[in-house]
A and B are shown apart, each in its own frame.
Chain A
Amino acid sequence: MATIGRAIVRVPRKVRKGQAFKVQMVITHPMETGLRKDKKTGKIIPKHVITKVEFLFNGQKVTTIHSGPGISKNPYFAIMMKVGGSGNLVIKYEDNKGGKWEKKVKVNVA
């Protein structure tokens, strides 16, 4: 099984100044609702979901996504961004079982 919490982030290779660009990400995560039952044992599968995703650009908060069991397995998120210059985009995300991860991406503004 793929590792829980691994993320793939995609940004354009080069961004023109003053232009909005799309940031896409996919996190590997089961997103269990806590309502489903294991068919073999009949026990409820405990809730395990991503609760928060934060996008920070050069330390400044851009977007915060509060998510829950309504988001699909292996969640996909896309947002738009418009920045003045190059910098680092840091994405912090966590789940309800205490998992915390961070992903860093460089944004090149030409």
Chain B
Amino acid sequence: MITRRDLFKVAGVGAVTLLAAPGAVRVTHARKKISIDDSMKEHLGVTLSQVKTSNLINVKAPTIAESGANVPVQVKANIPVDQVQSVTIFADNNFNPWVTTVDFSPTNGEVFFATRIKLAKTSPVRAVVKMKDGSLLMGVKEVKVTVGGCG
């Protein structure tokens, strides 16, 4: 026979599981978005405000991208390739803003790189050129995304 006491016990267990459930969900989502500053520090050793914007670097990307899963990006720099070490692409609002780093060599002839990237939402796309003397130059292009592409 079910007593009143038993009912309370069952209710109590139910309440505990209910309270515990949101906590469990939070644990699986504990990995937080990496900020653009942290990402730049990891890959270039400097924060965003320390990088100079330069009009020598041309970032070509659509102003409005219909799907964030596939955004064509093209980076060109009016700098002799033998002075350039690498080009790094960042997308600020992605979960992990770092997209790619490309190391160049004089055999490349010119500083050019094209690819297709994912964008979670509307975000500036940054291309940072690292010169052989250690200085950094950045080109930016804002891309509006109607549908995100990072699941």
Most chain A CB within a 10 A radius of its CB, from B89, B107, B117: B107
CB of A36 within 8 A of CB of B151, answer: yes
Alpha-carbon gap, A80 to B103, bound state (A): 12
Alpha-carbon gap, A1 to B105, bound state (A): 36
CB of B105 within 8 A of CB of A78, answer: no
CB of B113 within 8 A of CB of A70, answer: no
| A67-B100 in contact given A35-B95, A72-B69, A78-B114 (Cβ < 8 Å) | yes
> For the complex, would chain A's binding face be called helix, strand, loop or mixed by DSSP majority?
strand
Complex interface bits, A74-87 against B, C-beta within 8 A gives 1, otherwise 0? 01111111110000
- Docked complex: B89-124 residues within 8 A CB-CB of A: 89, 91, 94-105, 107-110, 112-118
Alpha-carbon gap, A19 to B4, bound state (A): 89
- The range of chain B's interface size is 20 to 34
A-B contact pairs, 22 of them (CB 8 A): A33-B95, A35-B95, A35-B150, A36-B150, A37-B151, A60-B105, A63-B103, A63-B108, A65-B100, A65-B102, A66-B101, A70-B89, A70-B96, A71-B118, A72-B71, A72-B116, A72-B149, A76-B72, A77-B115, A79-B112, A82-B107, A83-B107
| A70-B118 in contact given A33-B150, A35-B95, A35-B151 (Cβ < 8 Å) | yes
Alpha-carbon gap, A20 to B118, bound state (A): 29
Which residues of chain A are near B104, meaning CB under 8 Å? 63
- Docked complex: A19-51 residues within 8 A CB-CB of B: 20, 22, 24, 33, 35-37
CB of A71 within 8 A of CB of B114, answer: no
Does A62 lie at the interface of the complex (its beta carbon under 8 Å from any beta carbon of B)? Answer: yes
Complex interface bits, B55-92 against A, C-beta within 8 A gives 1, otherwise 0? 00000000000000111101000000000000001010
CB of B115 within 8 A of CB of A57, answer: no
Nearest to B69 among chain A residues (CB) is: A72
Given B69, B102, B107, B118, which contacts A81 in the complex, CB threshold below 8 Å?
B107
B-contacting residues of A (Cβ < 8 Å)?
20, 22, 24, 33, 35-37, 57, 60-73, 75-83
| Shortest CB distance A29–B (Å) | 12
Which residues of chain A are near B95, meaning CB under 8 Å? 33, 35
8 further A-B contacts with Cβ under 8 Å, apart from A24-B114, A66-B102, A71-B118, are A20-B109, A36-B150, A65-B100, A69-B118, A70-B96, A70-B118, A76-B116, A78-B113
CB of B100 within 8 A of CB of A70, answer: yes
